[in-house]
Structure 1
Amino acid sequence: MHKLPDTLPDWLALLESRHAEIHINMGLERVRTVKDRLGLAFACPVIMVAGTNGKGSTCSMLESILLRAGYKVGLYIKPHFLDFNERAHVNGQLATDAQLVASFHAVEAARADTDLTYFEFTTLAIMDLLAGAGMDVVILEVGLGGRLDAVNVVDADVAIVTSVDIDHTDFLGTTREQIGFEKAGIFRPGKAAICSDPVPPSSLVAHAEAIGADLWLLGRDFNYAGDKQQWNYGGRAVRRNSLAYPSLRGANQLLNAAAALAALEVLRLALPVGAQEVRTGLVLVELPGRFQVLPGRPTVILDVAHNPHAAAALGQNLGNMGFHPYTYGVFGVMADKDIDGVLAPLAGQVDHWCLAELPSARSARAADVAARVAALTPAGAADGERTVRTFADPAAAFANAMSRAGENDRIVVFGSFYTVAGVMAARKNSPH
């Protein structure tokens, strides 16, 4: 028996080295076995959130509102940008290394000879940590899909599917109907199943009805309406008027906020929340890397848009920002993404492309992306007005954009989490 690590970095290195040897077996039997051995159970309401885009925003809004209402809130959210601890929030604070290490030891002891992937192991550890932390409510973000995701060994009291779009086709299928069925796998008989996608796939609706879940559909069971100043939520039994817009910017944030308020409506007897707490929670919510506009000049925007649905929302948000002479695009993406579909909504908005390779075997080659950008470039662009350059990593691409951009220009860093994380790390380590 090898001695187990006693620091978080050593644990993560061990799990990564093991992960390489474990074939991802798409099934929950192994995770369920270890969960039962751990005796993992939540003594409070559990809200689970799945979706192609918008799940992180919805989780963060719920956390922010419930914290303002005085509840002890646990949150599991993915992925992390700089520190693994970002994945586990205990009452609004990041979990400590010591808390995580204790739960890693617990999972390792319960695992015995059962193989777990990195994601399965860390998911069980964080759920174990939150289950033992005396929370009033726990919010769990689903990683991939829903039906076969490791968090789905827990039965949620409220399950939310934010949006259904094409992504992760290797695992989830190539149509919205197939993907909708996978995401509906988090629904449970007799429990609230909320879908805030304006056009829910019929597979999701059919599955919810077949198992006897209490399905809440946008436009039927809950709705929102807004003007420039404020917005209103209407549910089955609860209306909330004169709400502030969420501080998270973007076209889809009212869909996400409406889903969060529907979940709070479902849980209103167990977790009552007042109007002022909802307003304050929405105003103060923060989520790194989701149309995050950094202070200072030139304007820097960080956005993890890496599928066409998210890129279209990013393009719309950039269009709403007001005038900037030039826009620099720092972009890196995985080769298995619909790269043309991600680039297309931004082709007319970005003047200067800084294309980066990513620290992953799955990275698209910057030269290949450059060829795709060139093919999408609008006709008639003057020489020098548009440039495309390639770089070995996101930090170098960002440094180049910063060196060329005027103070009234803007730099949009988007694509893979690796792209945004690489730039965040470079900014953190820069002397300025």
Structure 2
Amino acid sequence: MDLQQILPVESAERLAQIRQDFPILARRIGDRPLAYLDNGATSQKPVAVLQAMDDYYRRHNANVHRGVHTLSEEATAQYENARLRVARFINAPSEKQIIFTRGTTEGINLVAQTWGRANLGPGDEVLITEMEHHSNIVPWQILRDQLGFTLRYIPITDEGLLDLDQLSNLLNERTRLVSFIHVSNVLGTVNPVDRLVAAARSVGARVLLDGAQSVPHMPVDVQALDVDFLVFSGHKMCGPTGIGVLYARRELLEEMPPYQGGGDMIREVKMTASKWNSIPYKFEAGTPAIAEAIGLGAAVDYLSQVGMAWIHAHEQALVQYAYSRLSEIEGIHILGPGPEQRSGLIAFTVENIHPHDLSAILDREGVAVRAGHHCAQPIHDRYGIAASARASFYLYNTPEEVDQLAQGLEKAVEIFAL
């Protein structure tokens, strides 16, 4: 296939400019150019993010919210400005509804241990899906064992889609929460948020959306989606590690008890009792990840400048090309639906080759992919496999890197055929 059929000339030129913003992409692995296709695990960082964090540490380093000196006021302004930019990025009604966390996992645990602990008990039900990341399974299992509610699952079809025909059997007046992944980190499936939210609303249930694999890759509008909670991670969207976001409806945040106790989350402390701070600070105990929040603010600025619609279209072109190229390789099995129903990642197995061996061979070809169960063992159990390899694309990946991946896989097949 002619590469111009995959990317128009103007998109290819823009892509070349974008790649210049990511210094790590100039690396070579051995004698091969790096093809970084592990974006589902973490993304690379543009110069704008690196410079924003470096500038904070060089010129403004101080704690936030607690000082009246110049550096503290500057740090506080940058930290809170990052919160405002994140709110605008997902169209939250107010920056007060943005809680900075360590990532998606902590966001889900925060909801479980605050809203869940206050609202769930024996006789109640929480509905999740069989395609969840462990971070949207284990917190609910822990809380279920403590509080005695019932945890139910929407199954996956053979094609890698949610079996929504089962919704009528799984939802009832006892369902208090429906919590599900927007885009599967293994199957690539883009789930129908509108249908799932409508079903949850029909029984009065709240909705938590795991946006770890959607917010970095496509336009996400929390008001249009009408979800109660949204969680995502900074490091998957060109930001640093150690920072993430929980968005929630304001009335829920006002009602939820604190997640952790300590400095900054209090208004008044006496030896007999304490009063909590206003939102969002009620949920941000202790010194926050200041530089990381500033880096995340720079990341959302960068992504907004590129354009989330462009990023999504670019990834769709890549995944369609990759799906076609990989389908031609002998013995390969791609997990999940066709390219028209998936986001920009492909998990696969190759007959008689362990995914870890595939990953090692690809690494020698300069291609970085993921191998394992991707923190989603129930998906692999569903299809009777222990592990898979996963290539995941982002705004800076190229069709040539897809070819590099396919050629590496063909070499692996040849090696194991000997």
TM-score normalized by the length of structure 1:
0.28
With a CA cutoff of 8 Å and minimum separation of 6, indicate the structure with the bigger relative contact order: 2
Q: Compare the two structures and name the one with the higher helix fraction.
A: 2
